[in-house]
Chain A
Amino acid sequence: MHLVTADILILGAGGAGLRAAIAAAQAAPDMSIALVSKVYPMRSHTVAAEGGSAGVVQAHDSFASHFDDTVSGGDWLCEQDVVEYFVSHCPAEMVQLEHWGCPWSRKADGHINVRAFGGMKIERTWFAADRSGFHILHTLFQTSTKYPAIKRFDEYFCVDLLVADGRVQGAVALSLSTGDFTAITARAVIIATGGAGRVFRQNTNGGIVTGDGMAMAYRHGVPLRDMEFVQYHPTCMPGTGILFTEGCRGEGGFLLNKDGYRYLQDYGLGPAGAVPRLKAMELGPRDRLSQAFWHEEQKGNTVSTPQGAAVLLDLRHLGRAKLLERLPLICELAEHFMGIDPVTQPIPVRPAVHYTMGGILVDIETKAPLAGLFAAGECSSVGIHGANRLGSNSLAELSVFGRVAGEQAALFAGNAPPPDSRSLGALADSIAAEAVALRQQAGDGEQHAVIRREMTETMEKGCGIYRQGDQMQATCDRLAELKSRYRRISLADKSRVWNTDWTAALELGFQLDIAQAMAASALARRESRGAHQRLDGFEQRDDVHYLCHSLAHFRPQGPPEISYAPVTITRSPPGVRAYGALGQQAEQAAKESSHA
């Protein structure tokens, strides 16, 4: 066991972790910061975000408008005080990234440009072509190398937190290249390990998006909030689930069914205009668009592909020049992966799991209810996404709350006593021994790959775009069975160096806990809201009983316990969530009633 002492430990070096590291290094230059990641930072999944990041910048836009879009987009399950803080801090964070070199796309006059995005009433999405996340991640990684206080542990796989005396005091990580363990003690720990979309079969996520940090906090008693809300992105590659950015529609792309008809007008999003209208049709929110796909499939209006049903993303009318300028990655993906030239052919697409709205419960200062623990980015639930995240709010979130986490952790670490390395050493040894035991155990011969496949299939079946009680119950039961089989798996590979058989098994352990939290939270919510839509008698939103957050509490034996907590509402009481012409009517009515 190697021992490392740091003031602040950050788990995960994607956008949120890097932003936190830089903020901590700036806030407390004398503190040591350990930045642990199971991949080199530039491989983190922030890299795959395409469309852009929100921040109010136009003269006719306002924080109030960004707030309203976010809160109604989240079907009123957002923490409104947190959303207020968020929207008012997005623009400065976007400028900060610009000052660090992020190559944002520009207007002719040299100012940054913004594009339209789903569910946003005014264009406020900053973008770097269609590689926005890639550029943000590389900008943050490269900028982080300026700060000698940040010591990276690249390709270190974290297996557990060190929790003693009622507070988190570090973590234990496995070096992939050696198979050795390192205990890193710290006064404050930030989890920034991203989402958990890989618990589903068809998803847009990289292989590393396995919910590790969420599961670690959860196992130590930190509740996971709003886990039933899992976002399906409506335009993904059938089969692999690879993403075609919402920017395609922001730039004017259409969604067509097999008859070439813009079917979204049949689902309360119309009327269909020739040019994109904000908060209507193709620029509606992701939950509504994915639900419309489901209905079209039921009606037999989809096209069939070797990988299942699809609708068509039509970009042809945008023309070659605009496609190559604004959507070069999309053109490359369509051509290389599907043999389709978007200039001349529409792209078959379908919904796939994209984003985990819920996560580690934290407050507006990113503090979790475990002393010394902070969380930021997709792994956290700070409260801005509610029941459905709007596109371009997640890159903004990791910037705004990554910074907050870094600053708050530095503040906390400055006042916290140092960890007791001696007692933590024994704890670290037992954590490492448990991980090694999984590698060495004889088991009953079953391989974890089989369990993983069954987990992703049952999650898709029970917790998909539309849900029913009996199917969710079946998924809960299946997950319990898979968990007991998991305890008896056998690894073929007993070696230490780069044993990815072992790390994938450890990841599956995390994933099963996250999947259980999602399925149990979904089963317990007997209403339909945002991305959680039921077909079994609970088709309506029920503000009387369910205008509240779910909290999933880990139990070592048996399914999680679900409790509820109130939603903070400051200035937007729950209203009608409507888009297209209906949305305009609803806004008009709200305006008139507030003047009355």
Chain B
Amino acid sequence: MLLCALIGLTVQSCKKEKTADISDGIEAGAKDRLSMSKTAFDNLYSEMRKKNSKELPSNIKNSFPEFVSLFHHKPTVISKTSQSIKATSPLMMARKASLQASLKPITKSNVNSDQGAYEEVAPTYDEVMTEIVDDQVFQSMLNVEGEIQVENIIYKVTPYGTFFTNANNYAALNNVFADIALQNDYTVRLEDQATPILMDAVQVESTQYNDVRLLNQSVYFVDSFIEEDLPQPEVTVFPSDAVLDPLIFPNINDAGNTGGNGVTPPSNPEELPIENRQSYFLDNLIMGTQPAADPAYNNNIDYPIEFRTGVGSILQTFFDNSTRYNNFNNKYRMSALMYNRNYGVIKTLGIKVKCQKKGWFWWNKTDAQEIRAGWDYISYKAPIGVEKIGLPNNEFAPSIGQPFLINPTENPFYGVPMWGSGNSYAKRYNLYGWYMKRGDNEIFTVTIPGGLLPINHLEDVDIPSSKFKFAINAGWAKLKEVLTRSAPSSGSLISPNASNYKFPIYPLNGYGEVKYLSINDMENMPKSYVGGISKTTYLNGDYNLYTIVSPQELREYNTDMIDIPLDFRMIEIKLSTNPNKLAFDIGQAAASLITDKLAKSYNVDKGTIIGAVKWDNQWRSIRLNFKMKE
């Protein structure tokens, strides 16, 4: 990022017609490090970029005779930084003592445990610095310690990356640098540009920039030498049920015999590492009894509707009828309409459920005792890939607002356990989460179940929604219970008690970095209890982000119609940062759950609309299983 910034600044400065003198605005007498204004830095860097590399020495030397740059550094002279990271240096000894409690044992490959023997074969710190800073112009502007001051900020380039902080905070910078040096080999980036720098003993916070971290609340750090393209977001290709089932539900699928993972959970979950507690609790869950079906949906007809996009959708708007009917008798009926209108300049989406009476020429609306309208689920799809994250996670700090697929295939499994009564369905949800700030806390929030993944042993089998939704409800409640019970101590969270939040909370790691998971409730649960939801589209290795709007149902009495406009066809959303204001009213059910980044291209993908009418003490209902189609 720093280099990008430099390049950006260089481009800006190149636009200027007249370039300033090479040493304008720079402390010409600076001996230890160059100190300059931002403009001067831009000009100097851009001017030097134009020079031939062979001219650099003379240019720098002529402009700053007393300055010794990293580029001119003599191998025989050891830098102060190099001396400071020796195991016997006062700084390192002080830092070791200070961090003794929190540092993990340092492995041999992980630094200076055998410094003497190591130095015989390994390059020196200064040699690594010269090697790794491959921009010679920038190298010639750094002093032998890898430092430069721009405005009031000191930048210190090291083999681990670049540290920068306010000039009067220089001591803190050196302390953080020493802490990092204690845990990492300075040659690590010569061969490995992918592994994150270890920062176990340092408090790490994310910033508004994806690749910049705030260390110990005072020093910024960017890993300058990590490959920006790595790690790539993983494509979520879901393993087969046969692979997953024994892992997720060992006591269900093998009944303690064969085919399971053969692991006997310990009797005391507290003995388990944090990462494994969820699996333990999930393995020991017992589902409750399935509730009776709602009589409103006993006389139901299922209809499919596919909505085309583009010109096809305009034709469909004007020339096709999406209304479906269920008759009480030959004079009375109910109708349900899922409208997806494309008028060229505007698109509308909504639901209408009516009670109708036959007239002389057409069917007229008439009052019903009760009308219900809503949906079992509505699925949105975003055209972006999502990174997977395991929870708890202490490997990297997520960026604010970034969505993550909570990895269902690695331990711990955050799949929600769902099973129908008396059968061996092994089903689970995938969960998606967003990392966000709430007040003073950084919280990883899992809002609603993400990709809908009811998994069956058979290929492409519809899961009866009666079982499906019951299982969601029960599984979701159990998952919350599990997360709450398995949460480790809260660290520095201001409100450490899970019950103080509307939803259960869960820390992402136990190493002092405060990141919490909250679970939003599925509210207003199952409705129509008929039909099924296909799993096909969710198991194609599609790693796009899916979000499910949880079931909603509106009930009105002594009326002839319910009309629910759904205004999230293309949703514009501001992320709520107040956990008490997460909207769950109709039309906003999804609104508070999606970041701005996703919202502009977040499209309705499929769903099930429900409607029911009570007339003459009889119920009729319709389910419209709709799908948006290319």
Q: Are A and B genuine complex partners?
A: no
Interface residues of B (CB under 8 A from A): none
Residues of chain A at the chain B interface (Cβ within 8 Å): none
